[in-house]
Structure 1
């Protein structure tokens, strides 16, 4: 059982026997590592902490640009901001996990760190789903999208997303944990095996819905291309680019999350810790990729970044607001 997060303090029990200076004899129960020597610090934990720092910096930049740019108040930008907040919380959770693992020990901090990470990653996944639905509606109801998709409705959706994340995050603190019975632990201590399986199935359902929506988006885009014969060349190029973008988004999401979801279903705390680290790190990397896919590619956010950094906008970025396309988020 691994400890790439404080989600995984049980991993330290597998590492301690390799560090003879840590304890004269193996402890009766898993405990976080102590910093008795530099060799006690797992390089995997360092990698997760560094990844968390990168996640925090990226998403803090996105939030700052959205907050200080008055023109970025449309529903799609609000959803991007909510996703950035979730990923920022995930990055801070990874940093806190490192601190809690090596400097602060106890069941309370374990449950706190676990709750933060569950809230953050659950909200991140649900925000990605909401962005996918938003993209689908912008194509399916292209003529009425801007009148039906109000800011108030978007805030209600975001509130529901964070409510679900908070409910999932407090479950371990309410007793849904394996602190009293280590044999029931999943690869993510102190989450129980049954709860980990439920969360993994929840992710797989979200992924299935996203895949279906992206298929519908591709069909709508190609149908529009066929209906507009006058602009056939332009639409064909735009549609091809949009489909390629959607494929990259879906593949990136799948590669980051599917290994961990499947591993959580088949494995438990008795499996080698290296497997947990190897599947958790891509999950963290998804929060690194999200700002690139959903924020930094958007021309309107690019303009905000240029204005914030140097007070100017490159000639290839028009100051005029653009219409949204199927390749935008």
Structure 2
């Protein structure tokens, strides 16, 4: 089922991306058919924005469900060990907060552009398009930085790299990728 979902997701993405090449564009038409993202038509940009909103809503739903499962699992581990394992709760809260930061960054980066695609008119200055698209393009660059600053081993490596020494009172311990 997972392979089918992945293939369908990539297939839908490829189809949506190829539509302008296959002729759904406004190159040969009047300028009124164009959207704020030339040469895409208004209907194509609205379809892409609607797809974004659907994917974003699905991501929100899935992340909420993931967080509920993770919190329930950490609580069950603590109950099985007959004590409240502070390290499990801290790791769980840190993981949930990292997911929230990543999703919040994704929304803050892409929502302005998606909203502008729906409400923008082709006559608006191009700087508006670039001003809303620029944060969206930086989203992929921001995610690794967020993960890096949430991981203690990477923090220690950066400290050693930029300071040349390691004199920190913070105790760093080896962590698994799930602790991020």
Q: TM-score range by the shorter chain?
A: 0.7 to 0.9
Range 161-170 or range 261-270, more displaced: 161-170
The one of 258, 261, 273 equivalent to 2:114 is: 261
The separation in 1 between residues aligned to 2:100 and 2:150, in whole angstroms, is 17
Residue 53 (structure 2) pairs with residue 200 (structure 1):
no
Residue 38 (structure 2) pairs with residue 185 (structure 1):
no
CA deviations on 1:171-214 (whole Å, 9 max, x unpaired) are 11211001122111111000000110000010001000111111
The separation in 1 between residues aligned to 2:34 and 2:129, in whole angstroms, is 13
The one of 235, 239, 242 equivalent to 2:92 is: 239
Which residue in 1 is equivalent to 2:130? 277
The one of 64, 73, 79 equivalent to 1:215 is: 64
Q: Cα gap change, 1:220/1:162 in structure 2, threshold over 3 Å: closer, same or farther?
A: closer
TM-score computed with the length of structure 1 as normaliser:
0.43
TM-score computed with the length of structure 2 as normaliser:
0.75
Deviation at 1:161, TM superposition (A): 4.0
Which residue in 1 is equivalent to 2:140? 287
Residue 18 (structure 2) pairs with residue 165 (structure 1):
no
> What RMSD over aligned residues (CA atoms) do the two structures have, in Å?
3.1
The separation in 2 between residues aligned to 1:291 and 1:161, in whole angstroms, is 23
The equivalences for 1:4-15 within 5 A come to none
Deviation at 1:298, TM superposition (A): 8.9
SS of residue paired to 2:97:
helix
Deviation at 1:265, TM superposition (A): 0.5
Structure 2, unpaired ranges of 5+? 159-165, 167-171
How many residues are aligned here? 162
Deviation at 1:284, TM superposition (A): 0.9
SS of residue paired to 2:21:
helix
The separation in 2 between residues aligned to 1:167 and 1:275, in whole angstroms, is 27
SS of residue paired to 1:179:
coil
